[in-house]
């Protein structure tokens, strides 16, 4: 019997979460798990109650020609990783010692929050071009891996 690995299972959930993204430029999904139990999900989109870029039909970063990996403060969206961490906080669930699965590696801003939330491992489907975030992740001691599909899983 072929079964997908835990990493494949949870990365599939992160990919599904990305389909809720309201970003016009990059759709990202994230899930936080601990002891193979799902704690929270997140995707990138505007804060609750505010218009999303897809509703406004405009991406400010795109209009201003800001490259990926730069000037994150000029974005309406809360990143997927942050939304998952916030969901844990709102619901009173500790993500300390957990694993974050995310469809793109964290930016600098997300990396800082991942470190302070006590997440122990990050598994990303692909690299996001943010050298400072990558360096901070390395310095933090958090286990960082690029996802590699194994076997015959449906990813």
| 46-60 tens-digit pLDDT | 999 998 888 888 888
Strand pairing of 29-34 and 121-124? unpaired
Interior/surface letters 111-122, b for 16+ CB within 10 angstroms, e for the rest: bbbbbebebeeb
Active-site pick, 15, 58, 73, 81:
81
pTM above 0.75, yes or no: yes
Q: Is 58 a catalytic residue?
A: no
Phi, psi values for residue 116, rounded to 5°:
-70, -25
| Count of CB atoms situated within 10 Å of the CB of 90 | 9
Cα 78 from Cα 91, distance rounded (Å): 18
Q: What is the pLDDT of residues 90-105, one digit of tens each?
A: 999 999 999 999 999 9
């Amino acid at each position: 019997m072929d079964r997908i690995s835990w990493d494949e299972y949870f990365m599939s959930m992160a990919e599904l979460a990305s389909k809720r993204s309201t970003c016009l430029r990059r759709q990202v999904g994230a899930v936080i798990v601990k002891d193979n139990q799902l704690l929270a999900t997140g995707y990138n989109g505007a804060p609750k109650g505010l218009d999303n870029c897809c509703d406004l039909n405009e991406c400010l970063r795109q209009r201003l020609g800001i490259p990926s990996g730069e000037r994150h403060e000029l974005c309406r969206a809360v990143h997927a990783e942050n939304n998952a961490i916030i969901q844990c906080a709102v619901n009173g669930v500790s993500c300390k010692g957990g694993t974050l699965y995310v469809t793109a590696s964290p930016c600098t801003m997300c990396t800082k929050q991942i470190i302070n939330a006590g997440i122990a491992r990050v598994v990303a489907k692909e690299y996001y071009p943010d050298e400072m975030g990558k360096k901070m992740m390395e310095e933090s001691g958090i286990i960082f891996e690029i996802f590699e599909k194994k076997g015959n899983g449906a990813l």
